[in-house]
Structure 1
Amino acid sequence: MDEPRDPTLEQRQHSLLWDRFRAGDEGAFRALTETYYRVLANYGMKLSRDKDFVADCIQELFLELWERRRFLGDAVFVKSYLLKAVRNKIIKESIKLRRFKEPEDLEFGRGEYHPIELEIVSTEAEREKINHLKSLLGDLTKRQQEIIYLRFYQNLEFDEISEVMGLTRQSVANLLHRTIKDIRSKWIISLFFWILL
């Protein structure tokens, strides 16, 4: 099981930036927005396919953060704090626009995939395995896809995922365990059929 971790040097630096931003330092605020905009945009595109809508939500979020900076609390893990904030913002704005779907039905996973996997493979067989793995991931529930994205693409720990998704730490551990077990069992079954062909 994943144990709570101490903040890394980078996380401590970002936490200090957060404190400076809360004190009104525009340079610190600019550094935070530049550091996290792309992360938030990538995550937002997993929740909604509307790129302009996601960009608007992120811009509004940063504007609201600046306006409410004096009332914000400490953020040891700034990344998970902002991921949770943008998730909530997208859901809230979707409700306003009558575009809301329950979290299981959000468009998670339909955004652009990073082609890094295809860049590192050299044979057609490996490409087929990567495509098959993507297909298996696409067959997961939206919540399973979200937890895989947060854990393995954003490298968040259980406590951070718990904060972002609004689940208990134990629920995160259980969901991730079940998800990985599902992927493994489907992978083994598909390999068995490949051998028979």
Structure 2
Amino acid sequence: MNESLDTAVEYEQHKLLWEKFRLGDKASFGILTEKFYRPLYNYAMKLTRDDEFAADCIQDLYLQLWERRGFLGKSENVKSYLLKAVRNKIIKESIRLRRFREPEDLDFIADKDASIELEIVATESERQKIDHLKKLLGELSKRQQEIIYLRFYQNLEFAEISEVMGLTRQSVANLLHRTIRDIRSKWIIPFFFCILLECIRL
């Protein structure tokens, strides 16, 4: 079974669990919350430096989902739906707690311990290249860092990123193209950069 087929099957499994959850199946809801907690937490921690606040937002979101399950609609992509929901939850709670005033003030924290560091390469010179790439990623704007994270760490497609970030699909494509172009313009060996960027896919 190829990767695209695996993904399609997984999407269908998530949709089935979502439908059962909407009908009040606690077991299905438990599977969904456990399945997506880590991706949601990792994403939340990119949006806030407060691990307790991130965890509280996710728990509040889960509670609200269960309480409002009968009013929720069908979801074609449960993962992107939940990522968008936790993003909105963090924005809403941050404004309520006066952490910032507007959604545009939302911070995005560059990953200092990202999977890009995992056993991709072995030699010191190659590690230096990885450090250089991490530095370049850290110099990107908040939205550029966020779209790189969603595309290459969460493996979301353009339509899914569009839903999470509240952008049009064309805006997502333009932003990602501009972000990669910005990194490439500062990278000495474009081919090696492409390999590294591919390696951060989970």
TM-score by length of 2: 0.86
How far 1:57 sits from its partner (Å)?
0.1
Give the match for residue 42 of structure 2. Answer: 42
Structure 2 unaligned residues grouped into runs of 5+: 1-6, 191-202
One-letter code aligned to 1:142? K
Give the match for residue 180 of structure 1. Answer: 180
Which structure is higher in RCO with an 8 Å CA cutoff and minimum separation 6?
1
How far 1:111 sits from its partner (Å)?
5.2
Distance 1:175 1:93 in 2: 27
Give the match for residue 122 of structure 1. Answer: 122
TM-score by length of 1: 0.88
How far 1:162 sits from its partner (Å)?
0.3
Q: 1:49-64 to 2 correspondence within 5 Å?
A: 49-64=49-64
Identity of aligned residues (%): 72
C-alpha RMSD of matched pairs (Å):
1.9
Q: 1:101-140 to 2 correspondence within 5 Å?
A: 102-103=102-103, 105-110=105-110, 113-115=113-115, 117-140=117-140
1:48–1:111 CA contact under 8 A, matched in 2: no
Give the match for residue 155 of structure 2. Answer: 155
**Does 1:144 pair with 2:144?**
yes
Structure 1 ranges of 4+ moved more than 6 A: none
> 1:61-105 CA distances to partner (integer Å, 9 max, x unpaired)?
000000000000111100000000000000000001100265554
Distance 1:134 1:104 in 2: 24
Give the match for residue 66 of structure 1. Answer: 66
Distance 1:17 1:101 in 2: 36
SS at match of 2:186: helix
* Paired residue total: 185
1:36–1:79 CA contact under 8 A, matched in 2: yes
Structure 1 unaligned residues grouped into runs of 5+: 1-6, 191-197
Distance 1:98 1:148, change over 3 A: same
Distance 1:101 1:130 in 2: 36
